Structure 1
Amino acid sequence: MKFSDFGFKKFINDGLEQKGFDKPTTIQAEVIPYFKKHQNVVAKAHTGTGKTYAFLLPILNNLNYSNHDDVQALIIAPTRELAKQIYSETQYFKQFNPDLTIGLYIGGEDTEKQKQGLENKQPMIAIGTPQKVKELYDENLLRVTTASWVVVDEFDMIFDLGFFDDLDYLMARIRKDSVKSLFSATMNPQLIPFVKKYINNPVFIDQVENNTEKENIKNIMIDAKNRDDKLVLQTLVKQINPYIAIVFVNNKDEVSEVVNWLREVGIQNIGEMHGDLQPRTRASMLKKIKNNEFKYIVATDIAARGIDIEGVSHVISIDLPKDLSYYIHRAGRTGRGKLTGESYVIFNAKNQEKIQFLKQKGINFEMMRLIDGKIVPEKTKVAKKKKPGQISAEEQLVLSKYKDNKGKNVKPGYKKKRKYEMEKIKKQKRRQHIKENIEKIKKNKYRKRAQEVFGKDIED
């Protein structure tokens, strides 16, 4: 199937052609036909699968471009970064159709400018976060009740971040006959009542349950043998040569710690993404990240959902997230589109149960381990160099004593007995070695004294 098969308007096809997009992704191929038929959709799909175009293209195709007075489509996203990203993708098509009008409504922006714009004109497509959209609606500035299309992206994340009440408030005021759709990577049972309340007879699409692992992402588990995370990370970054690598931690306090670890191995210019960044700093950081100014980015899970960073070749999880569904989102930052990527997890005793859970969900990990300052595949064996004559005749005798002529161990309890006799021989060797060293020291002292007295060396 090709995009041209959907019968989109010319300006949409022109935009897709300029981007070099010919064939839809799996989620796009499944969702777009239902949208075109004005059917409600509830879709589960991994991040990085092309969900944005799955809902955006049919909305662009169905807008009334002669109506400049009403909001025709409302798209709600949980974070300002994701909202900006959707806005950017929508804005791209404006060059192919100047009649298209779009509004972005998020926190941390010039609120007065947003308000003045709404007093003059309503956008055809309004994109924003739940809190800001609700605020502007309450002030009778953004009239979302006229929307014929309503999309909630990363629906489960809106619930996780505590914006559920704001969303519920808005959805209660939307036209009942509007086409409503939810896109999510997970569907918590607590969210089902909301779906039933606002989405009438939806088509359910699930591309998560039976497709846990993306083929172009290699999941790698590093068996740290309970070594320090810092040592494992520093060894790994010395070994890989990423285009862009995201290092995930579980809370914002760990970000600066990991940044310092990276600086110790000579990486100085490092991006940071976490919830404590001020709006301006956050926007500036995201701009630098998208401009590929950082090779390494240390982030909390705020960067695991919705933020599309092009060229991420490696993802490293210092520890696994409490909500294990977020591991899928973390890994989904790499291997996007037709690119391949690697997602590393540091494996130790504290996350053993989590790893087992992910394996049960269908994620296949390639096992690696840290040996002699390198991270190597699990099957790699370290060759032990044996010095000539390392095993004495006595030790050879002990070994052969507990073997039959075919080389098989036959005597009961042979391991303990053999170990005992070998240790006994080793102790005797150590004693003999110490005795010889003492004798040598005594002789050296005697020679030195003789030279001082007689002026020459003497025989033993």
Structure 2
Amino acid sequence: MASFIELGVRPETIEALAPIGITAPFAIQEMVLPLALSGNDLIGQAKTGTGKTLGFGIPIIDRVLSKSEGATGKAQALVVVPTRELCVQVAEDLLVAGRIRDIRVLALYGGRAFEPQLDALNKGIDVVVGTPGRLLDLARQGHLKLNEVRILVLDEADEMLDLGFLPDIEAILRLIPEARQTMLFSATMPGEIITLARKFMDQPTHIRVAEEGGSTVEGVEQFAYRAHAMDKIEMLARILQAEGRGATVVFCRTKRTAAKVSDELTERGFASGAVHGDLGQGAREQALRAFRNGKVDILVATDVAARGIDVEGVTHVINYQCPDDEKVYLHRIGRTGRAGAGGIAITFVDWDELARWNMINTALKLDMADPKETYSSSEWLFTDLNIAPEITGVLPRSQRAKAGLAAEEIEDIDLKSKRPPKAADGRGSDRKSAPKKPEHAKVSAPSAPAPRKDRERKRTRSSAGE
């Protein structure tokens, strides 16, 4: 395997990555870096957790200019991603890689006030990571200048297609100079993505990372149990006390279930946070930061958050509710076993989910077509998952060592401004109203309820006859 220095990576970038334990390239990085650093267009096809973020992130950091090197303050590189959570994660990774040269990276996504983002743009940036809707809003208002972009990355292109962002992506591509490098990364290659590549890319090289071990996630030990709805939370609480259990992601299909599971785990003494669509953006980011910082070790999430959760050391993924299909299943369990590490994935299958589970089992050849009926007291649950026999559904007080979600400060996100002000040149947005996408959802940070005012009651009936 070639080293970073042999692949042509700048010494400053290598120095920046070393403290976080990244000292040698992964397979996709070894294949992508020589082409990307040379400015070639490419398509990278690889599943999640293979290190593809730095596959495009290192070339971006190495090829853009810093402020001290003569950067103008306009975006030189643009990374388009499907979700807010992934946007934050990618931006953080790029900031780490570019810290020695002080590369300015800005995350732009919906659910936040425009003013702080406009302030950052006015101060000058080198790299922008953003979701399609917010990027278009700011570009069409004249605040985000894309005329100096010479590197474009479309990350998780298949997910953006699924979310209906293809028209927005094409609109963004038309705002960027044609003389650019374009890199597209996708786990799958639907026909629409291939058409997009042919239309907007210049003779791209297609790089595909071979998936050893078939179509599932290598290194992840997988279990499925037929579980009763009323006993699931008790099963979960015992599994969370398994020997060697570290950071854990619990996936639910609905927002209501995610909120309920997180609350119940907290009542049982676990350090738990939740990420789902009913939470304001500040609360979602609070939970993700607490999870990354180790203040909570359990994150309960809906599928919308799956693409953005990239935390080292996730040992367990638990599907509290059966995923919709094999693609969602792979996205979920891909939160563990990342970058060659091992992990454990557990799926609860209720009776009404058996047909869906069998479709997943058949598609991925899991050999778990008939999950065993299992209860929180079943012996095989304890032996399969290395749970001590004396464990109950409540975490002992002596083991409640995590600081908890409350220890992570929640940001005060002001959303009073729903639209950005017009740019100095007076141009406004010509965007017509369209169906709302997930990133455009109006969210607000949780706040204390306003105190009730005492009201004077007025009589509405005659007093006659009293």
TM-score by length of 1: 0.74
Q: Which moved more, 1:60-69 or 1:134-143?
A: 60-69
Superposed CA deviations along residues 193-250 of structure 1, whole A, max 9, x for unmatched, are 3233222322223337665233321111124489854454345345566212211111
Change (3 A) 1:268 1:156: same
Aligned twin of 2:433: none
Matches within 5 A, 1:96-111: 96-98=100-102, 100-111=103-114
Query: Which SS does the other structure have where 2:260 is aligned?
Result: helix
Change (3 A) 1:242 1:365: farther
Matching residue within 75, 78, 81 for 1:74: 78
Aligned twin of 2:452: none
Change (3 A) 1:240 1:296: farther
Q: For the residues of structure 2 that align with 1:239 and 1:296, how far apart are their CA atoms?
A: 13
Query: Which SS does the other structure have where 2:221 is aligned?
Result: strand
* Cα drift, residue 260 of structure 1: 5.0
Change (3 A) 1:356 1:107: same
Matches within 5 A, 1:50-89: 50-65=51-66, 66-69=69-72, 70-89=74-93
* Cα drift, residue 326 of structure 1: 1.6
Q: Which moved more, 1:200-209 or 1:3-12?
A: 200-209
- Matched residue type, 2:88: K
Aligned twin of 1:255: 258
Aligned twin of 1:48: 49
- Identity %, equivalent residues: 28
Superposed CA deviations along residues 297-346 of structure 1, whole A, max 9, x for unmatched, are 21101221132123221111122222431211111111223432100012
Q: For the residues of structure 1 that align with 2:352 and 2:245, how far apart are their CA atoms?
A: 27
Q: Which moved more, 1:132-141 or 1:207-216?
A: 207-216
Matches within 5 A, 1:285-304: 285-304=287-306
Unaligned runs of 5+ in 1: 381-460
Aligned twin of 1:341: 343
Superposed CA deviations along residues 234-276 of structure 1, whole A, max 9, x for unmatched, are 4534556621221111111211332355357x23532101112
Query: Which SS does the other structure have where 1:376 is aligned?
Result: helix
- Matched residue type, 1:317: N
Q: For the residues of structure 1 that align with 2:78 and 2:8, how far apart are their CA atoms?
A: 23
Question: Does 2:134 align with 1:132?
Answer: yes
Q: For the residues of structure 2 that align with 1:16 and 1:234, how far apart are their CA atoms?
A: 37
Contact 1:74-1:125 within 8 A present in 2 as well: yes
Aligned twin of 1:38: 39
- Matched residue type, 1:171: L
Question: Does 2:284 align with 1:282?
Answer: yes
Q: Which moved more, 1:106-115 or 1:143-152?
A: 106-115
Aligned twin of 2:390: none
- Matched residue type, 1:119: N
The higher relative CO (CA closer than 8 Å, separation ≥ 6) is in: 2
Aligned twin of 1:307: 309
Q: For the residues of structure 1 that align with 2:281 and 2:79, how far apart are their CA atoms?
A: 21
In the alignment of these two chains, the number of paired residues is: 377
Aligned twin of 2:225: 222
Aligned twin of 1:269: 271
Superposed CA deviations along residues 343-380 of structure 1, whole A, max 9, x for unmatched, are 00123543444444444444536776636813527999
Contact 2:248-2:315 within 8 A present in 1 as well: yes
Matching residue within 240, 247, 251 for 1:244: 247
Change (3 A) 1:101 1:278: same
Larger Cα-atom Rg: 1
Change (3 A) 1:113 1:311: same
Change (3 A) 1:173 1:347: same
* Cα drift, residue 150 of structure 1: 0.2
Contact 1:235-1:373 within 8 A present in 2 as well: no
Aligned twin of 1:151: 153
Q: For the residues of structure 2 that align with 1:338 and 1:140, how far apart are their CA atoms?
A: 43
Aligned twin of 1:14: 15
Contact 2:132-2:169 within 8 A present in 1 as well: yes
Contact 2:28-2:52 within 8 A present in 1 as well: yes
Superposed CA deviations along residues 143-182 of structure 1, whole A, max 9, x for unmatched, are 1132111001112222333333322210122222311112
Q: For the residues of structure 2 that align with 1:313 and 1:231, how far apart are their CA atoms?
A: 20
Contact 1:223-1:346 within 8 A present in 2 as well: yes
Change (3 A) 1:232 1:377: closer
Question: Does 2:137 align with 1:118?
Answer: no
Q: For the residues of structure 2 that align with 1:302 and 1:35, how far apart are their CA atoms?
A: 30
Superposed CA deviations along residues 17-73 of structure 1, whole A, max 9, x for unmatched, are 333323211221222122123222222222111111000111222224434124221
Matches within 5 A, 1:393-432: none
Q: For the residues of structure 1 that align with 2:379 and 2:177, how far apart are their CA atoms?
A: 57
TM-score by length of 2: 0.73
The CA RMSD measured in Å over matched residues stands at 2.8
Question: Does 2:374 align with 1:370?
Answer: yes
* Cα drift, residue 187 of structure 1: 2.9
- Matched residue type, 2:86: L
- Matched residue type, 2:272: I
Change (3 A) 1:276 1:186: farther
- Matched residue type, 2:64: L
Q: For the residues of structure 1 that align with 2:373 and 2:33, how far apart are their CA atoms?
A: 44
Superposed CA deviations along residues 60-93 of structure 1, whole A, max 9, x for unmatched, are 2222443412422111112222112111112123
Contact 2:232-2:320 within 8 A present in 1 as well: yes
Change (3 A) 1:238 1:15: closer
Query: Which SS does the other structure have where 1:337 is aligned?
Result: helix
Matching residue within 220, 232, 236 for 1:233: 236
Change (3 A) 1:12 1:329: same
Aligned twin of 1:402: none
